[in-house]
Structure 1
Amino acid sequence: MRKAFLLLAGTCIAGIYSFAQEKQDSLRLINLQEVQVVSTRAGVNIPVAYTNIGKEEIKKQNFGQDIPFLLTLSPSVVATSDAGAGIGYTNFRIRGTDATRINVTTNGIPLNDSESHGVFWVNMPDIASSLEDLQVQRGVGTSTNGAGAFGASINMKTENLSNKAYGELSGTYGAFNTTKAQVKMGTGLLNKHWAFDARISGINSDGFIDRASTDLKSYFAQAGYYGANTVLKFITFRGEEKTYHAWDGVPKDKLETDRTYNPSGYMGDDANGNPMYYENQTDNYKQTHYQFLLTHTFTPSLTLNAGLHYTRGKGYYEEYKTDRKLLEYGLIPFEYGNETVKKSDLVRQKWLDNHFAGGVVSLNYLKDRWNLTFGGAANRYDGDHFGKVIWVKNYIGNLSPDHTFYQSNGTKTDANVYLKATYSITEGLTAYGDIQYRFIDYSIDGQNDTWDWINGEMQKLDVNKNFNFFNPKAGLHYQINQNQKVFASAAIAHREPARNNYTDASFNEKPKAERMIDYEAGYNFSTPLYSFGANLYYMKYKDQLVLTGKVNEIGEMLTSNIPDSYRAGIELMAAAQLTSWLRWDVNATFSKNKVKNYTEFVDLYDENWDWASQVENKLGTTTLAFSPSVVANSMFSASYKGWSAGFQSNYVGKQYIDNTSSNDRALDAYFVNNLRLGYTFSLKGLKSASVNLLVNNLFNEEYESNAWVYSYYQQPDASAGTRDRYADFGYFPQAGTHVLANLTLRF
């Protein structure tokens, strides 16, 4: 019997090594961190707050909902869905930090959009079904590739290639005509060196909100080669989505009578007074990812991880607009009947056509007391933005096919280099240091999608900015004994402005980069039967970009740098194995999230509802929007023979919709409970079969998880000097009790 060992280093900061062993003419892959650039992962001796979510936990929760809803058991996470049921456009916040400030990577490859800084999960449907695990780091965390981690980061690792052949069929059906169909298969190891895996999925849902339908398709495929000291892996995954708009929200006056009302696509009323809606008020996008990954072991102490990547994205959203000024779309007035038409209904499309490519690399060294990682990345983004008018009501002029009314190009070069080190000072005491230099070159040229009434043309864009960021981190980790450990750290992070910070800025107000200093301290006590942990954090911001209500010269809402703001809190976590078959996990976050010396800007209209000016309200210290002071989660999970069950509870405290701390503009606290039941059994001809049932919002809680508000004054009598305050709202109600059922067959 011949034995061979393949020793592949995962990440030096994680300290996880894995190997492949040949025995009885087959290879067993044991806990292999294969071909992954996981240098951004935090390990047991790294002084940061993090949560690991494994494959089995993801699988239990995965009924087709997007990643944000699979993270809701993690500390400080709040998820929301435009359609109200967790499928389609979804989002989340961590410690009150929005998605544009959360760095997301897959296998170390950046996922955040280079311009908006967000991750659109609707473009990656069912990616959860192809994940091996993921790690959520709260705060600045460790150095990572891509967008600045300005409150949290998520590192996702795709599935390991299987060493045994398999097949899997899975189907989900439930409320709102939600369906998910999935096929997975893998060859296992072929000729002792090769393996292939693939998945194809389709997800459809009508959504809780009216017409908030989704039609999602995706695939995932990978091929790998295993050598004595080298592992190569090629991965590609693609998402294609067609989603009806639900991002306008439900007006406040509709919440009590029609919580599913969707104003998007409204075309006016027919002859009988019934509302008409545009059938193709949809978002349409295709995104394909390619990754080529390498791991090579030079010696047991030295390992290289490297990757090349390319992402191709293209799509548009189409919408019906009523009573629009033709001039804003590059169209001339036309004669219809006996009048000159200067305004008309029309249908427009806004397109994005982009390319994102680059490489990442890390060299990992582990020997004696040292654990070193030297790495970096260089990426290039090129994106075209343009708009088309495809129809104008009653138009009899020379409307060319696909009339383009704006066009611009954005390019971005993003490069970084970092060095991380842990050093074992004494037994149990480890020092951590992490320095990163990041360079950004960003430019925008062309026309914005907004008409400039001052100069009588589409707003011109001419942005050319360079940023040089130095992001140091340091900390200590002390293993008191086998049951207890503590850590403390400090880190500095920077974040460049996003595209809309430039396109919506005032002519005389240019956005500045943001900076955050993050202080963290934690304690953990664990035994095989129970555990307890606490993390303290203080995140101090300088020049944070937030919506203040201020508008630019052409009336667009803009974000402004606020000099001083902070987030401070404590995250508590506990777990107990109550019996051999029953476990309880619970966590809670208590925080304060404040803006110092906040000034609100509110539009003022005259007696004829013509815009007059803006009013400044100096409000002092206020609470940051969408930053609840309490977030708590609980999960009772049971497993007995083939049966499993989970009872999940989420509590989210009151959230303010803007930064004024006004109770008139706030979301009420809510408490939502979900129940999951499952049974796995043997079936002739199959490896296993499982039936699962998910009851979301078990007690039919009526709540809204997100909203927007536009506040304004009217001065009905200028001579009297009085004014009345009004507000328009868009709320995002979430579905009441609804059920999803899943059947999975494994071959």
Structure 2
Amino acid sequence: MKLINKSMLSAVITLSTASVYYAQQVQDTVKTKSNDIEQVVLTGVADIAKDRKTPVAVSTIKEAQIVERLGNQEFPEILNTTPSVYATKGGGGFGDSKLNIRGFSQNNIAVMVNGMPVNDMEGGSVYWSNWAGLSDVTSAMQVQRGLGSSKLAIASVGGTVNIITRAADKKQGGIVSLGLGNDDYLKTLFAYNTGKSAKGWSSSFLMSRTAGSMYADGTKFEGYNYYFAVGYKKPGGNHDFQFTITGAPQWHNQRSFAISIANYIGFNPDQDGTPNRRYNSDWGYLKGEEYSARVNYYHKPVMSLNWDWTMSENSKLNTVLYGSFGRGGGTNTTGTANGKNLASFRDATTGLYNFDNVFAANQASTPDKGILIRNASINSHNWFGLISSFNHKINDNMKFTTGIDARYYYGYHYQVVTDLLGGSGYLDKANKNIPPNLVTAVSKPEASWNPFGGKIDDLNNRIGYSNDGEVLWYGAFGQFEYTNDKISAFLQGSVSNQGFQRIDNFIIDGVTTSKRGEIMNTKTGFKNLFGYNVKAGINYNIDEKHNIFGNVGYYEKQPFFNAVYRSNENVVSPDLTNEKIFGAELGYGFRTAQFNANVNLYRTTWDDRYLRRSSLRDVATNKTFYAEITGLNEVHMGVEVDANYTLNKFFSAFGMFSYGDWYYRGNATATLFEDTTNLPFNFPGTSSNETQLYLDKAKVGEAAQMTAALGFTIRPVTNLSFDTTWRSTSNLYASLDAYNFSVKSTAERGTLKLPNYNLFDLGISYRINLNNKQQYFTIRGNVYNLFDTTYIAESNTSTQIKQLSDFATSTTGGVTTTAQQKYDAYMNNPKNFYKGLDTSNQVFFGFGRTWAATLSFNF
């Protein structure tokens, strides 16, 4: 986890209840009217939007809502009641959730912790399992949709999520809590803050453990979270120092591959034609114990040192120096046992792997004949960064900010053996620098607790591949602001240079050739790419009730690492180009003592995009492959409405609605490669791995283009509250499917549209005050998906129901079957359809009814 503290945030900010959902805290924690302003003093490098000042679309979730409503949900899911946000649990493993804003995936959403970038520097990824403990230390979570107000040169195409954490100088006190939930969920937590001493010292400590299973079968997990911060500011002094270290070592069994609807139905023990939503195809039993082919394990501790210097009444310098040492990876299987791959060991009745049979087959084989092993793909890194900003107030109306953002990242990517499964050794032939390598060393899939990185595995124990990624980033930013009683305006810009180098330890310098015949070297040298952005916005407060705003921005965004070095090779892509993003937005706000509302209109275009879709599975061959897609152009536009109403201290409500129109403009090109061998993987029925995708006007998938939510909180008596939330999802489309759009006739049918769904959640809180309310117990209960609705959260494929033209007359053994007969047989088979969908589609069903309960004691 990358947690910094309060000393990193940019200014004294005001968060009004107009931009905060569920603004009132439980019981007596909020006594004010809905138009009162809560003052939060925050200084440093972050960019937090201010209500009726910063001209961006924004929603803020406060600590009270996170503590109450998150329970055993995934951290990003707390945002699902904000406009244009679609968060899912992904495959359903612990921390495997996904976040999407305005139709843009989290790779292109800037996730910040107190202003510090979190997205992986190679691919922009956010692995929420590495940040599983973040909810324990979050004071507020702000979502800025669109280009946002951050001054850094970051990839905030869809929006910015800024997570504000607890600080060392919080007031003295502590908390002990115990949480329970479905499927043996258990969470224990202890936290304590010393408060600030007379000499200016303060500290904060937190430790928690979470374990159990997720809703899907075969998804056991265990995770820890630790947080320690110490601060010092001499009374009356101009310097404020704070040091923070935090991390969340964890392991969890996964459900990595989307499963066909037919298999969800076929592997339902009830055999009643309904899907088994808990079914997981990635696990089985070994010697009577749960054994998963897919285990993720990681520890990403982050250390930061923050220095805030008040140079004068009008000038400040805010600096943070941070470092992160990520260690871990995820397992899969490779090889064959007596010529059989893992799919051959799947039980036809239960759909689970029989690892006892794998073990026996390996024992009967030898390394030269081949064995089937569980391996791990390691994705470790060292990351160092420095952000420093100088802020100067010119006069009462004008100020400017300028600063630097420097980062260095070194990533280690390779495979190791984690289980020989009864074999005596694994014979690897991938390393061209050494003869076939017999590997007998086994690395357990366990996260190291070493906060300073731990060891990197020996080169001789690596299999499959071994390459490193090096990223050198340096940038500068500046912003000018003008404010008066009516107007707030800003103009900002940033520039950055990103240097990428790929190092392949398994190739031979000057000998190994690429797929296109180029000679490759172990080190590519740095490929430098220049990018920039410029943004401007203005807010006008018409009166105390009404305000309007607008913003516009343009980005020249550098592509990710795998776009620079495609197909996992040490060759710079010949058609490398920056991605171009243009965004514009208009907004209106209304504020009264009891009712607040916001309306936003937006339009974003994204051209020259590169996309790599990984871990795809071909059903016919059971092989996994990835697709490299170039020349993508997208248009995202829509409208967003949110509001909240406070009648009195007994009743409050909120609501939101968002409608988007997100589609591809023009066509694109896709190239397929096998995951394990990195060799070309041909499109079905062709002899080529490259083709045009007919995408023009097709809908962008992965997120719902229309969402709505409505929630109520009722406090019938002091210290007791009930809350309920309804959430509606419509116009949800499948992910981009290269197969479907490679054929013009199927592409014309568009992106697969998934069924709409509605979910209801219910919560109850009760507080028992002790010792004049300084000490108290809180009991909280949540039920999610109250009515146990069955719904599809996402689809990995876009296969539409077949038409007559998809079939051809054929003759086998002298018997001719016409296209019409094949079509009739398909249409008359109920197993081919589920709620209007072809059951060959690979999907993830959402969780059924789940629950969580927490007992906590504050002192």
Query: Aligning the two structures, in what range does the TM-score lie when normalised by the shorter sequence?
Result: 0.7 to 0.9
Could you say which residue in structure 2 is the equivalent of 1:699?
787
Could you say which residue in structure 2 is the equivalent of 1:594?
663
By percentage of residues, which structure has more strand?
Answer: 1
Any stretches of 5+ residues in structure 2 without a counterpart?
1-5, 16-37, 269-275, 342-360, 428-437, 443-460, 617-622, 673-679, 742-746, 801-805, 827-837
Could you say which residue in structure 1 is the equivalent of 2:796?
708
Deviation readout 1:460-493 (Å, 9 max, x if unpaired): 8847422211201112211100111001111012
1:263 equivalent in alignment to 2:281:
yes
1:217 equivalent in alignment to 2:286:
no
1:36 equivalent in alignment to 2:94:
no
Q: What residue identity is the alignment partner of 1:419?
A: G
Could you say which residue in structure 2 is the equivalent of 1:576?
645
1:136 equivalent in alignment to 2:143:
yes
> How far is 1:560 from its partner?
2.1
Equivalence map 1:462-501=2 (5 Å): 462=524, 464-501=526-563
Pair 742,8 (structure 1): closer, same or farther in 2 beyond 3 Å: closer
> How far is 1:657 from its partner?
1.4
Could you say which residue in structure 1 is the equivalent of 2:450?
none
1:404 equivalent in alignment to 2:473:
no
Deviation readout 1:88-143 (Å, 9 max, x if unpaired): 31111111110100111112221111112111110122211211212211111123
**Which residue among 316, 320, 323 is the counterpart of 1:310?**
323
Could you say which residue in structure 1 is the equivalent of 2:776?
688
Deviation readout 1:180-206 (Å, 9 max, x if unpaired): 110011112223411111110111131
Asked if structure 2 preserves the Cα contact closer than 8 Å seen for 1:242 and 1:285, the reply is yes
> How far is 1:617 from its partner?
5.5
Equivalence map 1:221-236=2 (5 Å): 221-227=228-234, 228=236, 229-236=238-245
**Two-structure CA RMSD over aligned residues (Å):** 4.1
Equivalence map 1:643-662=2 (5 Å): 643-659=720-736, 662=749
> Normalising by structure 1, what TM-score?
0.85
Asked if structure 1 preserves the Cα contact closer than 8 Å seen for 2:282 and 2:292, the reply is no
**Which residue among 226, 249, 253 is the counterpart of 2:258?**
249
1:293 equivalent in alignment to 2:380:
no
Could you say which residue in structure 2 is the equivalent of 1:26?
none
> How far is 1:447 from its partner?
5.7
Asked if structure 2 preserves the Cα contact closer than 8 Å seen for 1:13 and 1:372, the reply is no
Equivalence map 1:663-682=2 (5 Å): 665-682=752-769
> Normalising by structure 2, what TM-score?
0.75
Q: What residue identity is the alignment partner of 1:530?
A: F
Pair 66,495 (structure 1): closer, same or farther in 2 beyond 3 Å: farther
CA–CA separation in structure 1 for the residues paired with 2:289 and 2:540: 65
> How far is 1:395 from its partner?
5.3
**Which residue among 485, 499, 521 is the counterpart of 1:441?**
499
Q: What residue identity is the alignment partner of 2:561?
A: R
Deviation readout 1:291-346 (Å, 9 max, x if unpaired): 111222223322221111001110122233363899x9xxxxx9998999655422
**Which residue among 710, 724, 730 is the counterpart of 1:634?**
710
Pair 196,255 (structure 1): closer, same or farther in 2 beyond 3 Å: same
Q: Which has the higher mean CA deviation after the structures are superposed, 724-733 or 407-416?
A: 724-733
Q: When the two structures are aligned, how many residues end up with a matched partner? A: 713
1:346 equivalent in alignment to 2:345:
no
Could you say which residue in structure 1 is the equivalent of 2:81?
73
Pair 430,611 (structure 1): closer, same or farther in 2 beyond 3 Å: same
> How far is 1:226 from its partner?
2.1
CA–CA separation in structure 1 for the residues paired with 2:228 and 2:751: 50
SS at match of 2:67: helix
SS at match of 1:68: helix
> How far is 1:620 from its partner?
3.0
Equivalence map 1:265-280=2 (5 Å): 265=283, 278-279=291-292
1:362 equivalent in alignment to 2:389:
yes
CA–CA separation in structure 2 for the residues paired with 1:456 and 1:361: 42
SS at match of 2:797: strand
Could you say which residue in structure 2 is the equivalent of 1:4?
none
1:735 equivalent in alignment to 2:847:
yes
Q: What residue identity is the alignment partner of 2:769?
A: S
Asked if structure 2 preserves the Cα contact closer than 8 Å seen for 1:606 and 1:716, the reply is no
> How far is 1:727 from its partner?
8.9
Pair 706,77 (structure 1): closer, same or farther in 2 beyond 3 Å: same
Asked if structure 2 preserves the Cα contact closer than 8 Å seen for 1:8 and 1:296, the reply is no
Pair 368,728 (structure 1): closer, same or farther in 2 beyond 3 Å: same
Asked if structure 2 preserves the Cα contact closer than 8 Å seen for 1:605 and 1:611, the reply is no
Identity %: 18
> How far is 1:359 from its partner?
0.8
Could you say which residue in structure 1 is the equivalent of 2:64?
56
Asked if structure 1 preserves the Cα contact closer than 8 Å seen for 2:261 and 2:839, the reply is no
Deviation readout 1:352-410 (Å, 9 max, x if unpaired): 22111111111222331113222221011011111123527655774342531221111
> How far is 1:176 from its partner?
1.2
Could you say which residue in structure 1 is the equivalent of 2:350?
none
Pair 255,335 (structure 1): closer, same or farther in 2 beyond 3 Å: closer
> How far is 1:454 from its partner?
9.0
Asked if structure 2 preserves the Cα contact closer than 8 Å seen for 1:177 and 1:205, the reply is yes
Could you say which residue in structure 1 is the equivalent of 2:587?
522
**Which residue among 476, 480, 487 is the counterpart of 1:421?**
480
CA–CA separation in structure 2 for the residues paired with 1:456 and 1:46: 51
Asked if structure 1 preserves the Cα contact closer than 8 Å seen for 2:629 and 2:668, the reply is no
Q: Which has the higher mean CA deviation after the structures are superposed, 54-63 or 499-508?
A: 499-508
Asked if structure 1 preserves the Cα contact closer than 8 Å seen for 2:46 and 2:116, the reply is no
By percentage of residues, which structure has more helix?
Answer: 2
Deviation readout 1:543-576 (Å, 9 max, x if unpaired): 123468999xx99423323353210000111222
Q: Which has the higher mean CA deviation after the structures are superposed, 373-382 or 292-301?
A: 292-301
Pair 607,377 (structure 1): closer, same or farther in 2 beyond 3 Å: closer
Asked if structure 2 preserves the Cα contact closer than 8 Å seen for 1:505 and 1:511, the reply is no
CA–CA separation in structure 2 for the residues paired with 1:129 and 1:525: 33
Asked if structure 2 preserves the Cα contact closer than 8 Å seen for 1:108 and 1:145, the reply is no
Asked if structure 1 preserves the Cα contact closer than 8 Å seen for 2:702 and 2:795, the reply is no
Could you say which residue in structure 2 is the equivalent of 1:20?
none
Any stretches of 5+ residues in structure 1 without a counterpart?
1-6, 17-29, 329-333
Deviation readout 1:642-691 (Å, 9 max, x if unpaired): 11222112212132213457578343222111111101112469701100
Q: What residue identity is the alignment partner of 2:65?
A: E
> How far is 1:266 from its partner?
5.7
Q: What residue identity is the alignment partner of 2:187?
A: K
Pair 606,521 (structure 1): closer, same or farther in 2 beyond 3 Å: closer
> How far is 1:250 from its partner?
2.8
SS at match of 1:654: strand
Q: What residue identity is the alignment partner of 2:10?
A: T
CA–CA separation in structure 2 for the residues paired with 1:15 and 1:371: 18
Could you say which residue in structure 2 is the equivalent of 1:504?
567
Asked if structure 1 preserves the Cα contact closer than 8 Å seen for 2:256 and 2:294, the reply is no
Could you say which residue in structure 1 is the equivalent of 2:401?
373
Could you say which residue in structure 2 is the equivalent of 1:24?
none
1:430 equivalent in alignment to 2:488:
yes
Asked if structure 2 preserves the Cα contact closer than 8 Å seen for 1:414 and 1:438, the reply is yes
Asked if structure 2 preserves the Cα contact closer than 8 Å seen for 1:514 and 1:541, the reply is yes
SS at match of 1:578: strand
Pair 448,477 (structure 1): closer, same or farther in 2 beyond 3 Å: farther
Pair 439,165 (structure 1): closer, same or farther in 2 beyond 3 Å: same
Could you say which residue in structure 1 is the equivalent of 2:10?
11
CA–CA separation in structure 1 for the residues paired with 2:364 and 2:198: 77
